[in-house]
Chain A
Amino acid sequence: MLAVVAAHFVLALCLPALARYNRRLAFGAGAALLTATLVWAMSQAPAALDTGVTDVLAWAPDLGLSLSLRLDALALAMIVLVSGVGALIMVYAAWYFGPRSTDAARSAALLVTFAGVMLGLVLADDLLTLYVFWELTSLTSFLLVGQGGQYRENRRAAVQALLVTVFGGLAMLLGIVLLGELAGTYSIPAITAAANDGTLAAGRPVALTIALVLILLGALTKSAQVPFHPWLPYAMAAPTPISAYLHAASMVKAGVVLVARLGPAFSAYAVWWGPVVVLGLVTMLLGGWRALRQTDLKRLLAFGTVSQLGFLMVLFGAGSRVAALAGIAMLLAHGLFKAPLFMVVGAIDKACGTRDLRELCGLGRRRRGLAVLATLAAMSMAGLPPMLGFVGKEAAYEAFLLEGGVRGALILTGLVAGSLLTAAYTARFLWGAFSTKGTQPTGGDPVPLGLSGPAWLCALTGLGAGIAAPLVNTLAESYAGPLPVLGDPYAAQYTLALWHGVGLALLLSAVAVVGGLLLFRYGGTATGHGKVPGLSAQRGYEAVVTGLERTAIVVTGRLQIGSLPVYLACILVVLIVLPGPVLAVAGSLPAQQSLYHSFMQVPVGLMVCVAAIALCRARRRFTAVLLVGAVGYGIGGLFIIDGAPDLALAQFLVETLTLVVFVFVLRRLPAHFAEPDSERRVRTPKALVAAIGGVLVATMAVVLSGARVLPPATTDGFVANAPEAGATNLISAILVDFRALDTIGEITVLLICAAGTASLVLATRYDKRKGGATVTSGADSAEREQEVAG
């Protein structure tokens, strides 16, 4: 099973090269792999429907992490869409992308990658595996919607889809971790078992509630439920094959799959089914209503998808056996009718150059085949027999009729209203695409078989599945079997079938279809388009994103002002503010404090101080360098007084060398410092901060040295071992023997610095030889000053 998933990624790696050779061959290879996956899954079906087929790769057993996959009924149903419909869409894409398309190679590879990731997602048997594939679908979707990134619309849509779904994904990760810690395992079957025993999170209901809400956030964003739905219609900026695959058949169902996966565990919890059912119903109604107002056929279908996803959420969230049967049927049906409808829109778009229903005219007469195909798929969408959509809808009504009670009645009302809207926008779609509206007839080019063939196959499968409803029932029963029977005991025997006889469910179906047609005819929705007034979820999203960016700018603008002195002052102030008070409170000055240890320390120290203070006031570079030299020699003197002649020697040598180097550079620099001295306004705070910092360091030195109570422990060791090193001078013994590695490190630093210095100096010489005059950038130009000044 792992190999099947991995095969997708391997093929995806090869596809860009193959696509450069032959575009259609690349898509064909993708289609072949997806078909092979479908065949493999079907060959496993008996075992999968019985107990499920598992495959585990323990990649970090010590951490309890494993990549575990499991093929069961739900996964099988999704594979029909991911691999089956996916293969057809790959064939469609081979004809959709033109020979000069720059996106073809990229899209082929990404589509196959996506198919692999999605396969992993539907097969995932533990929550962490599921999460990894979940986020990978978001990323591939981003790349597919964004395309090459040349168009603003694509970029916006891709960013919105990514932000919304990844926000949900991260919330879901939190929820998963919380749930995993509560349950002690991430395995979905184990969690389900624990939840059904009532042993899950015993005594910690609040934590469980938070975990479930967070997980639902992931599912709701991914499946475009209110109020997160606007990203889906915007994602229609992607090429049609991608919309058909990601945003109709597979990816947007990930949220539904998650709810379906965890439904058997949590559908008894109100915090689980409550939000799912309520938001699902709202989404179903809102999506249907918005679909009636669209003029772009693709966006009409997208809002239809939003609506249908709400429907699926309700069915899987309700948590009863019959609702789950209906859910599986509708899951399959939606993929099988929405994908061909998208393909039809793509074909129309390609043939007519538009997909605006106000411009399309007379297509039904000129492209009769396409019209029949669209009608066939649309029948399933509207819930007409003998399509699978009808079977699913019947079962859905029946589920809540059988459940009864207030909840059942309310959900049923919502579903019928939603289905009514569905029938209405189905009519609007067919009317918009194919009717003759009196304007100039559009559409001249015939539609190639490569575009219509896959759509036909898809739609006919929907028809076949409707007729062969018992077969679908076998699949659905395997998933729905363990779920509780709610309400009427007859629900235990209900099976999916094309004909259940005349009953209330059939009546409701008829009401929905007829009502929908009437709404379309007399509701003014035929030509109506326009903005939906009031609260808009899209505006909410924009406000959030803009607010975030504004906050980021304000914060960055305040924190990062671009001035080095200010940054350094900040560091210094932190040094003062954090350890300073600690020192004042906890530190104690040593009891006996001497003014000096050796009398000579006083005059030499005084000289160092005077030279250092004069350094601050020096205007000429040369004066400053001489004063630094004075400070350095003074320090050397202090070393001698302290009894460190080696140190003093090094200090004198280094100081002399430094002076020489300084003089070399000073030869070329102007005599005075460029700025006279900073203004008093700036100078005083700088001096104050510096003085406090200096005093703090000195105080800390005194306090810390006073805290020492024992003589140094290492001296005796050095003294004892020095003869072995053949040295009488302890310092040289330490440097070249005891701590020789440090010395090697030091030499390395010197070499690196020497190389750096040499290259900087030589670069200048090289420039001069090449260009003559000094090279200046625009840094001191008037424009630059203007910019700095703002």
Chain B
Amino acid sequence: MVQTCSKCSRANPAEAVYCYFDGFVLGGPSRPGGPVAVGAQVFAHPFVFPGGRQCRSFDELAIACQEEWAAARDLLRQGYLENFFGGLGRVDLALAAKEAAKFPDADLGLHQLLEKLPSQVLAEPRLALETQEINLGVLEVGDRRQFYLHMENQGMRLISGTVTSVDAPWLTLGDAAANQKHFHFLYELDLPIHVRSDKLHASSKPLEGHLEIESNGGSFIVTVRAQVPVKPFPSGVLAGAKSPRQIAEKAKAHSKEAAALFESGAVAEWYKANGWTYPVQGPAASGLGAVQQFFEALGLTAPPKVEISTNRIDLCGAPGERLHYTVVVKSEEKRPVYAHAVSNQPWLEVSPAKLAGRLATIPLTVPSVPNHEGATLTAKLIVQANGNQRFLVPVTLQIGGSLVFGETAPAAASVTAAGETPTLSEGALLSAPIVAPSVIAARTSGSSRRRRAIKPPLPWIHLVPAVLLVMAVLTAVVIDRFLPLPSGGTSKDEEGPNTAYDWTYIVKDPEPLLSVKFDPERERFGVEMTQEKDPDNPDRFKRLTYDNRGQSNNTVVKIDGYEYKFGEKTPSNVWGGGRGDRGKHVAITRGGRRAWESTMEFRAQKIDVVQHVEIIPGQTGYLDTLLVYYRLRNKDVHKHKVGIRVMIDTFIGANDGVPFTIPGKKEFVDTKAEFSGRDIPDYIEAIENPNDPKNPGTVARLCLRHFTLPGIELEDMDKLRICRFPDPNAGWEDWPMESMKPDDKDEAKDKGDSCVVMYWPYKDLLPGETRHVAFTYGLGSLEVGGTLALSVPSAVQPNREFVVTAYVWDANKGDKVTLTVPAGLQLANGESTAKIIEEDSPRTQVFWRLRSGRSGEYMLEAATDKDKAKPKKVIVKPTSIFG
């Protein structure tokens, strides 16, 4: 059965009496008896120290080593003890001695070996201190003081352990001024303790620190106390202040005077004299800013939020070159900004910040770009500003052949509070950039090398006004696009299908008796008869206008006081109607019609004027009448004053100065006349040979009023002029109205020259409103019976007054002309059927005012004592001129 040593707990054979390892008596049950004193057993031969001391047992050897420590330490190192133990057959002790000899500290090696000797004569080491409380008395910041901690070994062998300054940074141990010190000694030790002057700080309470001692001889805690009284502020308005709070209170009360003390550094010195850390880091601001700086550093005032000009700096330079850069710290608040920066790399030098109100400029310099061609060096620049706000700015220096100072877009740099670890992030941690220097380059060497500047991209913030402008314009356009136009006047109509396209009528003969030719540029129109030749030129047809293309006619549109000739293009007056230039001449031929439309846009005022010219059936049912119809539309959102007048240079056959007959007037108009309002007749007629009743020739009739067009309400004209044809460029009415008769005294007027000018009101045209005006010009019929002929309107509206005219040739004073009025028509109030010729005349006319009744066709007859006129039919109908 295996026996276990009660001392070393190692296993030994069952028959063993002593422990193989330590020689201890194995107390097995078969071995009753007391312990064997191994240490006292005599060696076979003694161990002799160099000094002659003989050791015959382990006990003697242990005592000798304790007493002759230095000699024993040397013998151990030199291997004598190892050999001796080997000679004794104690290989275990020989190995222990060998191991101990190799121990770095020889004293500790010997101490370990003595522990393993099978001897009980050496007592355990025991540490004793002279005192466990040390009072250093009164100290001043800056004092250097040293004292000793006395330790004794009241046991045997070596004491080893550590002393630690636990909570007293102002105490250092040993000559190395560490806060922990290892020690070992045999009998006693005086450990030097130093008071660190720079770690002392004044306080109203005593300083207290502790030294913790742990050793193989026991553990102790030593308390060290000292008094460091506060030095009051020495001078000025802050004199007597004993704490930062008192300084702040006094500074608040006397800010201007105190500012000088802060600015001069007196407060910082006072802090230093008391061993305190001055809260303001970096250079002091000037003036009251210094007080603010102090308050912000103490946390008594919230610091302004500051921004830095860049979040990273990328430099590039050639070896040996000197580079400059400037970092700007700024605040939007109207408070002083102060900042300072430090670099963690020697190649990047930071100069003191230049403080100027809300700006702090920190110059950076690379005195000489290191000679590492192709390398990229990195550094960190820590910028600290108001209230210890910190910015970490990474700096790279690319060493290359070309010199470029560039800066990335200042978008994001981190801001951290004091004490926090600065970090960089991609987000918008920093508010808007302060400055966006595109390129900052400085070359002091005057080198002529090419310099390349990398321009930063346009920061997005600059795009904001452009985007806003686009949005504003688009919003306005969209609103305009979908907001309805303001409502127009009472006659406002919507732009719908052109009703003129849908007109239909019945004709007796599809071959027209008239033809229309247009001036190709201006869309003026001239009228010719298709069945009769020009008396002066048989190759041509008989004209009803002076020019067969109507070039002497003109139409004037007056808009807002300005007169424009229809058909004369200008940059703002163009052919249009949604067709561009194709709107100039649109033919309507459906159903055999002969109609042409021309649309002109007056774009400045957004007025459209449509001229509709069409050959329509007249009084006879043949295509012998020209309808001229204008449509005026206001497409603007504003009202405009618009009027239109049409001038027709009348001409029949070879007669340019044809006189006109006016219903209701006794005389022919062969000089000039002007009618307005209600005086304007329903129609006027021009007779080619007015003095020849047997051959009156062509009769041209202008219908001016009281006719209608399908689906259209025509507006009455308000003025009519019959006179000499004025200048072709005549405007609205600023031209002289002269007699159409020839004037022998004036060569320019040696021939008769007539014209008819029709005016429709010049008045407001409301937004979206359309006006319609029209007249007809065509062939009339004059059927003369002897010396008498009747003239009636083409058609008459029911229940309306109209005029019947009788032309009388070779009239004698007193002759009576009698009108036979059929049933369905009646004389107007005050009229009589018989009219008396008032004076002799080769040609005169009498008229009757009649009133129509119901719809129908009525034959009128007239007679004198000598002749009887051919009956004339009057058509009374409520419909338009087309039927």
A and B associate in one complex:
no
A: which residues have CB within 8 A of B?
Answer: none
